Chain A
Amino acid sequence: MNPMLEQFLFEARESVLSIGQLLMRLEVTPEDEEVMAVLFRIVHTLKGNSGLFDFPELPRVLHEAESLMDAVRHGEVAFSKDLADRLLEAMDFVGLLCDEIGAKGHLDASYAVQSARMAESLRSLLAEVEAPPEVAAAPRIVLSPEDARRLVAEMPLSAQDAASQGMRAGGEFNWLEYSPVDDCFFQGDDPFFQARGTPGLLWATIESSAPTLSLADMDLYRCCLVFRVWSIASRAELDTYYRFVPDQISVAAFPADCFAAPDVEPFAPDAEPVHAITIDDDSLGAGQGIDAAAEVSLPGPASGPAVAAVDDVADEGPASDLAGVLSLVEIQSAILRMPLDANGSLGRTAGVVATLRGCLRAIGFRAKLPELEAAAALAIREGTVDALVAWLGQAFLHEPPGPGPSSNKEHSIAPSGESLRALRPETAVAPSRSPMSGDSEMRFGRRAEDSSASSKTIKVDQAKIDRLMNLIGEMVVSKNALPYLAGRAEHVFGVRDLSREIKSQYAVINRIAEELQDAIMQVRMMPMSFVMQRFPRLVRDISRKLGKEVHLVLEGEDTEADKAIVEALGDPLVHIVRNSLDHGIELPDVRIAAGKPAAGTLQIRVRQIADRVHIDIRDDGKGIDPAVIKQKALEKGLIDEATFARITDQDALSLIFAPGFSTMDVVSELSGRGVGMDVVKTAVENVHGVISVESEKGKGTTLRVSLPLSLAVTNVMIVESAGQRFGVPLASIVETVRMRRSAIRLIKQSQITVLRNSIASVISLNQLLNLSEEQLINDDDELALLFVRHGDERVGLIVDEVVETSDIILKPMAGVLTGLAAYAGSALMGDGSVLMVLNVEGLLSCQ
């Protein structure tokens, strides 16, 4: 399975879980807006992500869930346990779909139906509340019996006949007045065209709203028409059709007794049906077919993603989604009925035929292929699509071969209508008990509580792993007491044998403890691919946007590091990549002019070296010009004239990490959202990482990030000062040096020295810690100095002695001590003593 899908499924399951929890919290505190906001955001994100994959079932359900949550959030729908039930059920279904996709890599056709119904069930909750304000804004008018009779009498007898027949068959009969606003042309409306398309149109009149229509003083662009329409379409259909202009129509239902002589047939049933505007079902179909296929409010398997996937379905063989295929067929039918533009017709027909061919193959109906080809040949020969439409009707939609495009709307395209169901049993195994038949208490095959815990991964609270980590840390430290004990046994008590035995036992415990520590750290480890897998897409999108060609090379994605580190690395890496694409790699023509291949290369290489992860992000772009950087830094006041004059090229490059530095005059849309490399640097340093830059003008730039594998173990340098031991994180130390006292000079109030030709300030640790003792010097009159990073400077810390480096488990300061910026925390040492670990940045900042 591709990693992106895997990642999605993983996240989806987590989201489903959180949604469930939040819904349950809302049941307790329905007024909690914060929970509501979080809930909506999760559903929204999940829906958005689900759209990236070719499983239309997921977004279909999630879209409705999102709309419902949105309505709840805005107070349009009240939160109730019933609603929560429905949403939880929907989330169970989403979880089930995820499991299916995870297990099989695809979804059975039956899920398409289930998801459509699940979506419908959610929508119905929304519709109960929303439908009235949404669509039915048109006022309801009640016709008096006299008015009704008068209006009916306005129609030709044949139309009256059709209406009364329809009403006796249980249909509706409505009167509609459409008075377009006078500036409607400026909203792109053509009211006459709207009126012509009215569903169920039986008879209509057009009147002028102006008292007299006079050519001479006519305002062309002011609409002064009023349409009166008699229709056998339902009230809902009319409201839906006129949903863009609900304030401009009024609808009234005719009472049942509005016909002058309901039981007397004025004409024989087979009288010639030539009516003024009476439109019989067939000719109506021409205008209505597609509308019916596509009523916005009608649910059904026809869906956007399915259409977008035409090519996929056609190419990929076995179908996983019968409903998708059927909806495709419906759309093909609708396309055939779209009004023809002569030039495009042949190509369009050919396209439809190709799609249908693919559909037939996909659902295993190869036997029907010859029929299709015959119909297609006929259609192309005759230059009309009638043969195809007729064949479609027979083969898929179970309608009688009709007179071409004007076929019956109810039967042809009603989504999930009878005709579709007729196909289903042959190919898809429907659930044994159809759960849907108008049953509001829907139950799918499986709910959350039924699902066996078959997953191979378990989700463990991070706190539990942290606890394990702490315990093993203490054990590692405690076991270090054994060598001391062995030493005491030998030297203090003089039992050499016991000492040896303790030592051999120690070796065993040590080995187990180290393996245990490693195993626990493994639990927290995750591969770098977690952040790197999004790069191919990111690089593709960005380079397209910038008009650049970029070849991305990823190496070492399997390299693992602690979860906290990998997660913390995501955003900085994305930013670095963006920067490389934006500022580093040049446009193709520039590259060619410079004698480089048109496509740039961006290489992201991850390696594990000892206990650190090294990430190199290298591009072969235009590089960084140190002179430009220096100039900018000077202009922005980041460096002074003196520094400008003597700064090395490498140090100049490092200025890109200085806060407030951006080489671009115009902040670029991509990388310049007010986030500079300084933020990247801070983020890397937060996880005890180091970042550096190398660049050669014209050749490219490399950013190197180095990180500890794990945050749990910290490498410290142990130093002595004023008779106490302190730990200094190795990550912040540049080098340790012994220096003659005379090499340190006092200038004004501060001490400085020259280290490798550059000046660094020097300060004594005792002074920083407010200890009164002088720092010790050795026999050669030398002081021990620890050069550490402080911002972009190096600062020498004078200590008494540099002892050794050691791996420690750093425990942050607790309680009131957390306020002490000078300390990063404490660690328990092997001999049982406590080591205070200094926070160099904090220490130097508070001087």
Chain B
Amino acid sequence: MGRTILIVDDSSLMLWTVNSTLHMAGFVVEKAEDGVVALNKLKGGLKPVLIITDINMPHMGGIELIQNVRAMPGLRFIPILAMTTESQAEKRAEGKKAGVTGWLVKPVEASQLLAVIKQVLPA
């Protein structure tokens, strides 16, 4: 049983790159193009071990998604990585408050991605 990672990004290019890296590292990948789709998948019973989400997305952004996820009983403690290009402290503080575990800086390079996953996800 491969462990599932949910990635949420409105850029199909980004989904594709992250997907291929994670897939090569042996994870099962679920993709969602915005917060609403992601939330529906989670409400539909998807049990990922990790969520990686973009912050700026249409329909439902990353912060709102994270707030919703943290309110779901089974997902209160799931590690969530947020992808952003922004380095501003206030965005990070807001994210941390919503329950972000760690940050990935776009463009997300494969090595960075694997390292951060390694850091937040016990094998």
Contact = CB atoms under 8 A, between A and B. Distances in A.
Interface of A: 51, 59, 63, 67, 74, 130, 133-134, 185-190, 193-194, 197, 221, 241, 243-244, 290-291, 293-296, 300, 302-308, 310, 327, 330-331, 334-335, 338-341, 343-345, 348, 351, 415
Given A51-B13, A308-B17, A291 B96 contact: no
B16 A331 contact: no
A306 B111 CA distance: 11
A296 B112 contact: yes
B95 to A, nearest CB: 9
Contacts of B78: 188
A186 B17 contact: no
A219 B103 CA distance: 28
12 contacts: A59-B107, A67-B87, A185-B76, A186-B70, A187-B99, A188-B120, A194-B119, A290-B114, A290-B115, A304-B17, A308-B17, A335-B24
Contacts of B112: 294, 296
B2 interface: yes
Nearest to A241: B119
Given A186-B77, A343-B2, A330 B111 contact: yes
Contact of B99 (A74, A188, A300): A188
A294 to B, nearest CB: 3
A379 to B, nearest CB: 15
Nearest to A293: B111
Given A188-B78, A304-B109, 13 more contacts: A130-B87, A189-B79, A221-B76, A244-B103, A291-B118, A294-B116, A294-B118, A302-B109, A304-B108, A305-B17, A307-B21, A338-B114, A351-B24
Contact of A308 (B20, B111, B116): B20
Given A134-B87, A188-B77, A348 B26 contact: yes
A715 B111 CA distance: 63
By secondary structure, the B interface counts as mixed
Q: Which of B3, B77, B105, B119 has the most CB of A within 10 A?
A: B119
Contacts of A348: 24, 26
A303 B79 CA distance: 24
A241 B1 CA distance: 30
A348 B112 CA distance: 20
Given A304-B110, A338-B118, A187 B96 contact: yes
A338 B108 CA distance: 19
B80 A188 contact: yes
Contacts of B111: 293-294, 300, 302, 327, 330-331, 334, 415
When A and B form their complex, which 6 residue pairs have the shortest distance between CB atoms, in order from nearest? A294-B115, A339-B123, A188-B101, A188-B79, A294-B111, A307-B110
Q: Which of B1, B102, B105 has the most CB of A within 10 A?
A: B102
A345 B13 CA distance: 27
Nearest to B105: A296
A158 to B, nearest CB: 27
B107 A310 contact: no
Interface string B67-84: 000100000111110000
Nearest to A194: B119
B99 to A, nearest CB: 5
Interface in B1-48: 1-3, 13, 16-17, 20-21, 24-26
A302 B110 contact: yes
A335 B87 CA distance: 29
A170 to B, nearest CB: 26
Contacts, number: 127
Contacts of B55: none
Nearest to A74: B88
Contacts of A67: 87
A134 B76 CA distance: 28
B56 to A, nearest CB: 14
A304 B2 contact: no
Given A51-B107, A343-B1, A294 B114 contact: yes
A616 B3 CA distance: 52
Contacts of A304: 17, 21, 107-110, 113
Nearest to B77: A185
Contacts of B16: 308
Nearest to B78: A188
Nearest to B88: A74
Nearest to A544: B12
A800 to B, nearest CB: 60
Contacts of A330: 111
Given A335-B25, A339-B123, A341-B3, A187 B101 contact: yes
B108 to A, nearest CB: 6
Nearest to A197: B119
A307 B17 contact: yes
A329 to B, nearest CB: 12
A185 B105 CA distance: 23
Contacts of A190: 79, 120, 122
Contacts of A335: 24-26, 114
A310 B2 CA distance: 22
Contacts of B115: 290-291, 293-296
Nearest to B2: A344
Given A293-B115, A302-B110, A341 B26 contact: yes
A293 B78 CA distance: 25
Q: Which of A188, A189, A221, A295 has the most CB of B within 10 A?
A: A188
A305 B112 CA distance: 13
B4 to A, nearest CB: 12
B26 to A, nearest CB: 4
Given A308-B16, A335-B25, A63 B107 contact: yes
A74 B16 CA distance: 31
A221 B123 CA distance: 22
B118 A290 contact: yes
A546 B103 CA distance: 33
Contacts of B79: 188-190
B116 to A, nearest CB: 8
A428 to B, nearest CB: 21
B63 interface: no
B24 A193 contact: no
A375 to B, nearest CB: 19
A129 to B, nearest CB: 11
Contacts of B120: 188-190, 193
A185 B96 CA distance: 12
A43 to B, nearest CB: 13
Contact of B20 (A63, A302, A310): A310
Contacts of A339: 123
Contacts of A296: 105, 112, 115-116
A227 to B, nearest CB: 15
A290 B70 CA distance: 29
A692 to B, nearest CB: 35
Nearest to B95: A187
B38 to A, nearest CB: 15
Q: Which of B26, B88, B89, B113 has the most CB of A within 10 A?
A: B26
Nearest to B103: A244
Contacts of B118: 197, 290-291, 294, 338
Contacts of A193: 120, 122
Nearest to A44: B85
Nearest to B1: A343
Nearest to B104: A296
A259 to B, nearest CB: 31
B77 A344 contact: no
A308 B79 CA distance: 25
Contacts of B13: 51
B1 A307 contact: no
B101 A244 contact: yes
B10 to A, nearest CB: 11
Contact of A187 (B100, B107, B114, B122): B100
Contacts of B110: 302-304, 306-308, 331
A291 B101 contact: no
Q: Which of A193, A304, A348 has the most CB of B within 10 A?
A: A304
A305 B20 CA distance: 11
Contacts of B17: 304-305, 307-308
